[in-house]
Amino acid sequence: MMPSHPPRGPVADAAGEDASARAAEARRHTRQENRIGIVYGVAAFSWWGLMPVYFKAVSRVPALEVLAHRVFFSTLFLWGLLLGRRRIRAAVTALANRHTLLILGASTSLIAGNWLVFIWAVGHAQITQASLGYFINPLFNVMLGYVFLGERLRPMQKWSVLLATLGVVILTVHVREVPTVALLLPATFGLYGLIRKVAHVDALVGLTAETTLLTPLALGYLVTITLQGRGHLGTVSPELDVLLVSSGVVTALPLIWFLNAARRLRLSTLGFLQYIAPTVQLLLGVIAYREPFTTVHLLSFGLVWTGLAVYIIDAVKRMDR
């Protein structure tokens, strides 16, 4: 009787071993890329979490002037970065396309508003409230998907949004005013992300185009206040000058790290890492800058955190299907 399978020869064995070696090498490469991606992701979100330290250092400067410096020096830095990466043409193409330009014009106003609110919040001892806003952000994105994209809310998502809303309501009743910062930050950033979905440009090119669109306004404002003797650059101290000029690097560097992380990690992993930033901000606000954090604050944040936990559990379950 003939054997059902012919014996493997030296050539077949060598081919099988070669395929196994390639597969093992691919797995090692993937693990290495994941580790590098996590390092970049942690660095980016930690940097964004520590941004209040920078804005506290320039808090003597009005928020609008800080924003103008941030826009102007970010534009210079980003164009230099694109030049180094030989991607100038991509940004020029984005700015030359009328449809893309209209979309980026809308996203520009939103990201500028988001930056301004955050700078103002840090300068007015509202870091804790700002961190609450960024904890709410993923749940606000769920609502945007429901309202604008027709996405249906799953039962657990409904509970997560309800818990977060209850947390904001409790804080509102306690402080007797609407937590404007905690609502404006996720609103502007959430809408910004929604609009950027329809602009077919990557993050680096898009941000460069956005800051470029804002630069004439920023530069005009800086020239005006300088002529009026109200500008702070070059009039207070060398230390403050360095801080203002470095705002471009402070803005763009974590974005570069984020892009490196995004290329290597799954979106779900990035989703978990994003909570580093508001956590660091909350710790800074309460521990370093002694902002109030009462029992009511704990209850409010606790409800938002519970809502996030429900949201994450639901997302993990969906991943396993």
Q: Residue type at 144? A: L
User: Average pLDDT of 141-149?
Assistant: 84
Residue 19, pLDDT score:
67
Coil/strand/helix, residue 2: coil
**CA-based diameter of the chain, in Å?**
102
314, 160 contact by CB (below 8 A): yes
pLDDT at 108 over 90: yes
Round to whole Å and give the CA distance between 294 and 206: 40
Cα–Cα distance for residue pair 282/297, rounded to 1 Å: 11
How far, in Å, CA of 305 to CA of 131, rounded?
A: 12
| Percentage above 90 pLDDT, the chain | 53
Query: What is the distance between the alpha carbons of residues 166 and 16, in angstroms, rounded to a whole number?
Result: 59
Q: Across residues 67-84, what is the average pLDDT?
A: 94
* pLDDT for the residue numbered 295: 94
Q: Cβ distance 156 to 313 under 8 Å? A: yes
pLDDT higher at 247 or 196: 247
Buried b (16+ CB within 10 A) or exposed e, 31-54: eeeeeebbebbebbbbbbbebbeb
The CA distance from 131 to 293, in Å, is: 12
Residue closest to 39 by CA, chosen among 270, 261, 279, 268 = 261
- By mean pLDDT, which of 35-49, 72-86, 262-276 is the weakest? 262-276
- Give the Cα-Cα-Cα angle 91, 94, 97 (nearest 5 degrees): 150
Question: In this predicted structure, what is the pLDDT of residue 33?
Answer: 83
Please give the pLDDT value at position 6.
Answer: 56
pLDDT of residue 14: 57
Give the integer Cα–Cα distance in Å for 264 and 40: 9
d(CA 169, CA 183) in angstroms, rounded, equals 11
For tokens 């534009």, the residue is 75
How far, in Å, CA of 14 to CA of 12, rounded?
5
Q: What's the rounded mean pLDDT across residues 22-41?
A: 81
* Alpha carbon distances (Å) from 199 to 80, 158, 205, 206: 22, 29, 11, 8
Joined tokens for residue 160 = 């997560």
Residue-wise pLDDT for 305-317, tens only, equals 999 898 888 877 7
With a pLDDT cut of 70, the percent of the chain lying above it is 91
pLDDT of residue 4: 55
Encode pLDDT of 224-257 as tens digits: 999 999 999 999 899 999 999 999 899 888 988 8
pLDDT digits (tens, 9 = 90+) for 156-195: 888 988 999 999 999 888 878 889 999 999 999 889 888 8
Residue-level pLDDT at 244? 95
Confidence of residue 319 (pLDDT cuts 50, 70, 90): low
What residues have CB less than 8 Å from 73, skipping those under 6 apart?
A: 244, 245, 246, 247, 248, 249, 251
| DSSP reduced 3-state for 61 | coil
For the chain, the straight-line distance linking the first and the last C-alpha, in angstroms and rounded, comes to 47
What is d(CA 311, CA 308) in angstroms, rounded to the nearest whole number? 5
